[in-house]
Structure 1
Amino acid sequence: MRPVRFVALGDSLTEGVGDPVGSGWRGWAALLAPSLAEDRERVRFTNLAVSGAQTRDVLERQTPAALELRPDLVSVVIGVNDTLRRTFDINAVAARLDRVYASFAHQGATLLTACLPDPGAMLRLPDALASPLARRQRAVNTVVHALSDRYGALHLHAADGSWTTDRTLWSADRLHPCERGHRQFAVRCHALLSEAGRATGRPPSPEPEFPAPTRTASLVWLATAGTGWVVRRCGDLLPQLLRLAADELHHGVRGTRARLDVHASSAVTAALAALPGPTP
């Protein structure tokens, strides 16, 4: 019987950061993979996700490698790192994701996508700093929603609700799920796939396999690797973010912050309208 080929694309979330096993990471995609078939030995899983990846990396590096594997199922969960760069451009994000989704849709693969919470809220930044990041993440999520509809993807809504408010699902850095969070993500993806007839195995267990890190261990990790991750991902954004925060405060004083939302929404509409083919 033909194996089920599952390829995962994305960044640190899909790489598995926050769910350590041995000397590496496991993560939601690896937890999901065995549940795709009744006989888990039939599943061929490849994880191409890389910490720090942006939509450009998925398009230029991960997608060609994945297409060669001719997956039956491909997950594309990406975009947060784009919002943490001073070069953020929703037009470029939309164009790249459209090309990625189209490539796999034309090959006949089932697409699995997800929208994600904004990092400012997860980090509990002051409103003037969090709002610009939230606006960017909403823009990315809107694009992902539209393109998921266009290409018939199975889409997981993971930007709000208990997924973001339950602190037991998140690591000490507040940006990556812990093992319990990765398992919840995998369980929710399995439910989507099962409903669509794309997963026939038992769902992943929602219960952690390993004890949760102690508070001391979490703080040590946050002070070393976790802090380093944040600095590497958004260090070049800080000067621009401070300018965006100043603009946020300025509009707040004048009572015109709604204009910022309207401008962002218009930019997303224009980005989607500029894509080839029917407007998503």
Structure 2
Amino acid sequence: MLVTALTLLVSLLAGCAVSGPGATSAFLPSASAGPSIALGEGLRYVALGDSYTIGTSVAQAERFPDQLVEALGDPSPGLSLVSNQGVNGYTSGDLIRDELPALDALAPDFVTVLIGVNDVVQGVPAERYEANVVVILDTLLARLPARRIVAVAIPDYTVTPAGADYGDPSRQSAGIAANNAIMARLAGERGIAFVDIFDISREAASDRSLVANDGLHPSGAQYARWVERLIPVVARLVGR
């Protein structure tokens, strides 16, 4: 059970945020609708985030958490995706309000977190996003060692065919990069791995196979590229 002060801080910050749409590039520590649940063997893996975690517009098997589990394989210790908590349109404040409390019942051994694009789209100030990320990471660290947490960068949706529908592309791309820098810095200060997939997402400007049929979200092929970055990091962290 989390300490009372941390629980209060989570509640206060969640109430201030807005809800909204929807070579390894990583820091390594030294050592479409709503949540989906699956049960199995291995370390209990919970994925936190927004549309990029729940895999809006792709099949369940193509979502990056599902591809990660499949790519990591069976040899001990494997990962068992017990819950994908991602919700289309969620901001960092929404994650604090709805996803972090679910961890009590889910009892994860391993967590990924990818959040922040909707903060940019909805104009959540960088200072508020940073404060929310502090709460998210510190709440996770109260449950798990840093080596069992991975933060994933926000992809750049502005290069997709529908990207301009969600704000000025140049300004929004800069906002995404700024939020990624915040997450990378705060994760690094806490010894949490940060995997950067921003550059992969920008390849969608010239390679439409990396874009889902909705013209906005990543395709299963793009998520597979993310997993190529994630695998060596996750394998090391889970003790392969």
- Pair in the same fold by TM > 0.5: yes
- Indicate the percent of aligned positions where both proteins have the same amino acid: 22
Report if aligned partners of 2:69, 2:78 keep a CA contact under 8 Å in 1: no
Q: Distance in 2 between matches of 1:193 and 1:42?
A: 10
Q: Within the alignment, does 1:51 sit opposite 2:88 as a pair?
A: yes
Aligned to 1:106: 142
Q: Please list every run of 5 or more consecutive structure 2 residues that lacks an aligned counterpart in the other structure.
A: 1-40
Q: Distance in 2 between matches of 1:6 and 1:137?
A: 26
Report if aligned partners of 2:160, 2:211 keep a CA contact under 8 Å in 1: no
The size of the alignment, in residue pairs, is 192
Please state which structure has a larger fraction of its residues in helix: 1
* Paired amino acid for 2:156: D
TM-aligned CA distance change 1:63 to 1:46, over 3 Å:
same
Report if aligned partners of 2:211, 2:217 keep a CA contact under 8 Å in 1: yes
Report if aligned partners of 1:7, 1:71 keep a CA contact under 8 Å in 2: yes
Aligned match for 1:19, one of 23, 40, 58: 58
RMSD between aligned residues: 2.6
CA radius of gyration, larger in: 1
Report if aligned partners of 1:19, 1:182 keep a CA contact under 8 Å in 2: no
Indicate the structure whose relative CO is greater, using CA pairs within 8 Å and at least 6 residues apart.
Answer: 2
Report if aligned partners of 2:110, 2:144 keep a CA contact under 8 Å in 1: no
Q: Please list every run of 5 or more consecutive structure 1 residues that lacks an aligned counterpart in the other structure.
A: 201-280
Report if aligned partners of 2:44, 2:108 keep a CA contact under 8 Å in 1: yes
Report if aligned partners of 2:46, 2:83 keep a CA contact under 8 Å in 1: yes
Instruction: Return the offset for 1:75.
Output: 0.7
Report if aligned partners of 1:36, 1:43 keep a CA contact under 8 Å in 2: no
Instruction: Return the offset for 1:175.
Output: 2.7
Instruction: Return the offset for 1:39.
Output: 5.6
Report if aligned partners of 1:3, 1:43 keep a CA contact under 8 Å in 2: yes
Q: Distance in 2 between matches of 1:173 and 1:44?
A: 26
Q: Secondary structure at the match of 2:160?
A: helix
* Paired amino acid for 2:158: G
Q: Within the alignment, does 1:63 sit opposite 2:100 as a pair?
A: yes
| CA deviation map 1:40-72 (0-9, x unaligned) | 887252111111111011111101112442322
Q: Within the alignment, does 1:6 sit opposite 2:42 as a pair?
A: no
Q: Secondary structure at the match of 1:107?
A: coil
Q: Distance in 2 between matches of 1:3 and 1:179?
A: 24
Q: Distance in 2 between matches of 1:40 and 1:183?
A: 21
Aligned to 2:114: 77
Q: Distance in 1 between matches of 2:54 and 2:201?
A: 19
How do residues 65-214 of structure 1 correspond to structure 2 at under 5 angstroms?
65-86=102-123, 88-109=124-145, 110-123=148-161, 125=164, 129-160=168-199, 162-165=200-203, 166-194=207-235, 196-198=236-238, 200=240
| CA deviation map 1:154-205 (0-9, x unaligned) | 2111111x442143222244431112112222232112112x24264xxxxx
* Paired amino acid for 1:78: I
Report if aligned partners of 1:11, 1:53 keep a CA contact under 8 Å in 2: yes
TM-aligned CA distance change 1:149 to 1:67, over 3 Å:
farther
Report if aligned partners of 2:69, 2:80 keep a CA contact under 8 Å in 1: yes
Task: Please report the TM-score for the alignment, with normalisation by the length of structure 2.
Answer: 0.70
Q: Distance in 2 between matches of 1:93 and 1:56?
A: 8
* Paired amino acid for 1:49: G
Aligned to 2:17: none
Report if aligned partners of 2:43, 2:77 keep a CA contact under 8 Å in 1: no
Task: Please report the TM-score for the alignment, with normalisation by the length of structure 1.
Answer: 0.61
Instruction: Return the offset for 1:85.
Output: 0.9
Report if aligned partners of 2:42, 2:76 keep a CA contact under 8 Å in 1: no
